[in-house]
Structure 1
Amino acid sequence: MSSFASLGIAAKGLVAAQRAMEITGQNISNINTEGYSRQRVEQTEAVVSPNGRFGVKNASGQGVEITGITRITDTFVNATARQDQATAAQLTQSDQVWNQVETNLGEPGTQSLSARMTANWNAWSALGSATGATAVASAKASVVATSGAVAEKLKSLDSAVAQQWGGLTDQAGAVTKQANELVGQIGELNLAILQVKNSGASPNEIMDQRDLKVAQLTKLTGARVTDRPDGMVDLYVGNASVLSGTNAKAMSVTTSDTSPAAAAAMSGFDKAKAGYTTWAVKVDGMTVQPDSGQLRGVLDGINVTLPGVGNQYDQAAVTLKNQVNAVYGTANGGAAGDFYSFTQTAGAPATAQGAAQGAAASLKVVPTSATLADSSDAGSVSRDVAAKVGVLGEATDGPSVAWRGTVVSIASAAQSADLRSTLADDVASRSAARRESVSGVNLDEEMTNLVSYQHAYAGAARVLTAMDQALETLIRGTGRVGL
């Protein structure tokens, strides 16, 4: 091998060390860049062929060759981290829904339904033992007032959950819009990666940007990712494709309405409580349900959680009405009529649960303090009916006990949602840390590499200097014989 070839070997060493230092600098400068994956220069020894016209035997080789720049990632670790983030987002959304329900419930509290029901039973009991015209009149006014407060609280609870449901439907549209924007951006990055790869350059930085967008999309929709041989990715939400290479398909939130004509006047929330409507994602005419992600949590709140809570409020109103009316109806020889009434939701299904729909929103007190009956005999002043209504608060199957069961059910569901969310967040954090341990930049490691590459560069430079001096000696010190 000629001395000039040795210069080439040294020059290749300089280039390789310089490129390695550049990549190390790239890693260090992006240590705080979200989604950045550290890179590494791949190099191999250049071998001289011993065969052929220009073959050289017993040669040391032709130095070093850079074969590429590797992006340090683990497909399985990344997929696990994305899925764990999607699950955490779904459960966090569910936790937020239940937390708001529990907050609106206001139990325990001085203005809670439990407190108002207790005050109402006390008012009935006070009427049952009242004597004297003034005391009776005051007790009757208290019964009507506290009963009205109970009805108003149920109406307030129903209104709060209906407003929360409406807010979730708006949120579903907003999340879907954001997801569509991300799909479009990922499609554009797919195209950029393909173009860069076809040019022979490295698309590592663009792939990092795309993976960050994919992670954001997965957190929203639980999207699944499939890698393609050309460097692009395909995306699926549920069982529908939302991105194939650069071809993006828009998602939309739609409702399926199976309500009869008689239910035309029902609100969207009433239809949800009746089971007439289901909200879902539609892609290219196909109805899908996201596997996880924030959007799944929103849809679960719209389709399951809040309609179920609304039905519980309606059932509480029905229980209160039925049990109070059953006792109150015995007053005046059975001619007292109803104490509570409500308007059945038009078009609601004729089922045990459906019959309750509209009760919480329309529950009202029928008699006034002047027309309120309190005794089984119209001519009696025993106030036995009032006393019997008063002890409903202590009955094991009374309205208060039934309501406490509802409160416990909601509190238990909220606590469970909070626990699941906390555990999912912990799992997601561990997955993110695992991904960071693989792809993240370690400053100590990079500084160690930088010193190593610096020494390699200095060594290659020293070889180049030595070969240059040898050639200079050869050229200047020869060719003088015979002069």
Structure 2
Amino acid sequence: MRSTFMGLETAKRGMFAQQSALYTTGHNISNANTEGYSRQRVNFSATDPYPTASINRPQIPGQMGTGVEAGSVQRIRESFLDVQYRTENNKLGYWESKAAALTKMEDIMNEPSNYGLSKTMDRFWQSLHDLALNPSKENSGARAVVRERGIAVADTFQYLSGSLQSIQRDLKEEVNITAKTIDSLARQINNINRQIAETEPHGYLPNDLYDQRDLLLDQLSSLANIKITTEKSGGNALAIAEGAYTIELLNDKGQPLAVLVDGKTLQANSVEVGYHESGFTEKIIIGGQEINISDFTSTGKLRSLIDSYGYMDGAEVKGLYPEMLHELDKMAFAFVTEFNAVHQSGYNLKDFETDPLVKTPVNFFAELTDYKGAAGKISLSNEIKSSPDYIAAASAPYVGNGQNAIRLAEVKNSVMTIGGRSTSIQNFYESLIGKMAVETQEAQRLTGNSRSLRDSVENRRQSVSAVSLDEEMTNMIQFQHAYNASARMISLQDEILNTIINGLRGR
């Protein structure tokens, strides 16, 4: 036979369940502006009906409900959107970093402008044309201008080389910082894994720990391409418990490179960057496992920084900044070599002072023996520094001849071998700047595309997981009414019992 006090227990359970829901609603409202927080809900479930199916069950028309209980407190999260977000965030991390590196390079090259190398060289060529019009000793000003313009060309080459190398050193520091950040995030995720593994077997859902872990994973996804698999905690863990995460680094084909966080052993592997004796990136070391840099094709900020700073591909150095520096060096070397050759073929004023029929070959720029580092070493020869009279403007041994100055000015368009291809100084530099501009434009375009896609996924994710104050206020009123109704049921049961116990006494 059912108990007289059965209704009290049913109402009490209703009050406790609605009270839990109100507490959870208050927690949601409190964390409405907390980064990475996912709204939570109480999963209500009806308690076992009375009576249970058995031989000794009371003979009543059917089973009666016994109320409600708060089965679990679950966060609202859609894992598919998390995967999509991290995929787009990974692409954004790569292209955003590459666009930033190329933008810095563009700022240094400063083309087209009145202060770039192209304009500086144009002024140099123009000064040679001006000298050809009046190369006589009396017009010393034109020669002085040529020398100063030559100094400006050398200084601009040196400035470009030095500035690019300075940015490159900054990129190396950023590579190291990014590797340390990955290492730190992996350790933090592993610590949360341990806390989750200690909590879930007791039948709890550590929702706030889940949120903290997912926030760290979002940050990690921008640095490297990762794959997440779940390791169940065991014990009395609920079916919806998320367990510990194993995190693997993937290459561009989706194949695993190394384990960053092991959810089974609850261990995190360290992350380091290995450098070649030349100073460029050679390998990535994860937990003692060495990955050759050519195999480390995991997209993300780390790979982008390595591509910008420079890396060893066999015996060859590759990367945005090394390649730009090499191209500048080749251009400077070819320019100095060709210009000096034409300059040595001419006559200078010092020759006329001694013996007009004897030509003394003089270099305009200091001689360079190798293209490596040429842009940073270019300077005027000692003779030109000492006197502009050493400028060989004449093509024949008589005063007033300025034909060699014209030939020197035509070096601008002279076809020569630069970097293994036949071209002119002007065309080579224009193609170099054009290539940089196209790469920058592509990186910026893909950055914008990736950001749009990531933000689109984030908006969908927020529509599922974010706290809506309007919705929480509605829920609060709903749970409050349910709580009041359960309390009213207790009052009703009290009146019924009072009638039964006191009203029927003595009859």
TM-score by length of 2: 0.84
Task: Write the distance in 2 (CA, Å) between the matches of 1:416 and 1:319.
Answer: 30
Matched residue SS, 2:138: helix
Per-residue CA deviation, residues 118-170 of structure 1 (Å, 9 max, x unaligned), is: 111011111211153221x3322222221221122111101111111111111
Tell me the distance in 2 between the aligned counterparts of 1:131 and 1:188. 78
Provide the C-alpha distance between the structure 2 equivalents of 1:290 and 1:435, rounded to a whole number of angstroms: 28
Residue identity opposite 1:21 in structure 2: L
Partner of 1:388: 407
Alpha carbons of structure 1 residues 335 and 412: separation in structure 2 relative to 1, 3 Å? farther
Q: Distance in 1 between matches of 2:59 and 2:94?
A: 66
> How far apart are the structure 1 equivalents of 2:121 and 2:132?
17
Q: Which amino acid in the other structure matches residue 481 of structure 2? A: H
> Which residue in 1 is equivalent to 2:271?
251
Per residue, is there more helix in 1 or in 2? 1
Which amino acid is the alignment partner of residue 33 of structure 2? N
The residue number in structure 2 matching 1:145 is 148
Q: Which residue of 2 aligns with 1:378?
A: 397
Query: d(CA) in 2 for partners of 1:335 and 1:122?
Result: 25
The 5 Å alignment of 1:51-90 reads 51-54=54-57, 57=60, 58-90=62-94
Note the 1:91-130 alignment, pairs <5 A: 91-130=95-134
The amino acid across from 2:31 in the alignment is N
1:421 has 2:436 as partner: no
The alignment partner of 2:404 has SS state of: helix
The verdict on how the C-alpha distance between 1:279 and 1:167 changes in structure 2, with shifts beyond 3 A counting, is: farther
Q: Is the 8 A contact 2:230 2:245 kept in 1?
A: yes
CA shift, 1:237, in A, is 2.6
Q: Per the alignment, in what secondary structure is the counterpart of residue 340 of structure 1?
A: coil
> Which of 461, 464, 467 is 1:438 aligned to?
464
Question: Higher mean Cα deviation, 336-345 or 59-68?
Answer: 336-345
User: Higher relative contact order by CA 8 Å / sep ≥ 6: 1 or 2?
Assistant: 1
Equivalent residue runs for 1:16-27 within 5 Å? 16-27=17-28
Kindly state the Cα deviation for residue 254 of structure 1 after the two structures are TM-superposed.
Answer: 0.9
Task: Name the amino acid aligned to 1:331.
Answer: G
Amino acid at match of 1:41: V
Cα shift at 1:201: 2.7
- For residues 312-340 of structure 1, what are the alpha-carbon distances to aligned partners after superposition, in whole Å with 9 as ceiling and x for unaligned? 21122133224323433432599635433
One-letter identity of the residue aligned with 2:108: N
Q: Secondary structure at the match of 2:150?
A: helix
For residues 318-467 of structure 1, the aligned pairs below 5 Å read 318-332=333-347, 336=361, 338-344=363-369, 356-366=371-381, 367-368=383-384, 369-379=388-398, 381-393=400-412, 397-467=423-493
Distance 1:399 1:117 in 2: 10
Matched, 1:212 2:215: yes
**1:283 and 2:258 matched:** no
- Give the whole-Å Cα distance in 2 for the aligned partners of 1:434 and 1:323: 61
Q: Give, as a single letter, the amino acid of the residue that structure 1 aligns with 2:192.
A: L
Structure 2: 5+ residue runs without aligned partners? 234-242, 251-256, 311-318, 348-357, 416-422
SS of the aligned residue for 1:3 comes to coil
- Aligned partner (choices 239, 242, 247) of residue 260 of structure 2: 242
| Identity across matched positions, percent | 26
Q: In terms of mean alpha carbon deviation, does 78-87 or 435-444 score higher?
A: 78-87
Aligned residues: 453
**1:17-64 Cα shifts (integer Å, max 9, x gaps):** 111111111111111011011111112222232324245641322111
Query: How far apart, CA to CA, are the structure 1 residues paired with 2:335 and 2:326?
Result: 14
Partner deviation per Cα, 1:275-329 (whole Å, 9 max, x = no partner)? xx43442112323426233222211111211111111211221332243234334
Which letter maps to 2:494?
D
| Alignment check: 8 A CA contact 2:337 2:368 kept | no
The answer (yes or no) to whether the contact 1:393–1:401 under 8 Å persists in 2 is: no
Q: Specify the SS of the correspondent of 1:50.
A: coil
Residue in structure 1 matched with residue 321 of structure 2 by the alignment: 306
CA offsets 1:223-276 (integer angstroms, 9 cap, x no match): 33222222111122341111112201110111234xxxxxxxxx64xxxxxxxx
Query: Residue type of the partner of 1:164?
Result: I
Give the letter for the 1:291 counterpart. Answer: S
Q: Please, which runs of 5 or more residues in structure 1 have no aligned partner?
A: 258-266, 269-276, 346-355
Secondary structure, in 3 states, of the residue corresponding to 2:272? strand
Equivalent residue letter for 1:86: N
- Cα distance in 2 between the residues matched to 1:380 and 1:229: 93
- Label 1:380 to 1:210 Cα distance change in 2 as closer, same or farther (>3 A): same
For 1:382 and 1:160, how far apart are their aligned partners in 2? Answer: 40
Secondary structure (helix, strand or coil) at the match of 1:108 reads coil
The 3-state SS of whatever aligns with 2:222 is: helix
Mapped to 2, the partners of 1:389 and 1:447 lie a distance apart of: 81
Equivalent pair of 2:362/2:390 in contact (CA under 8 Å): no
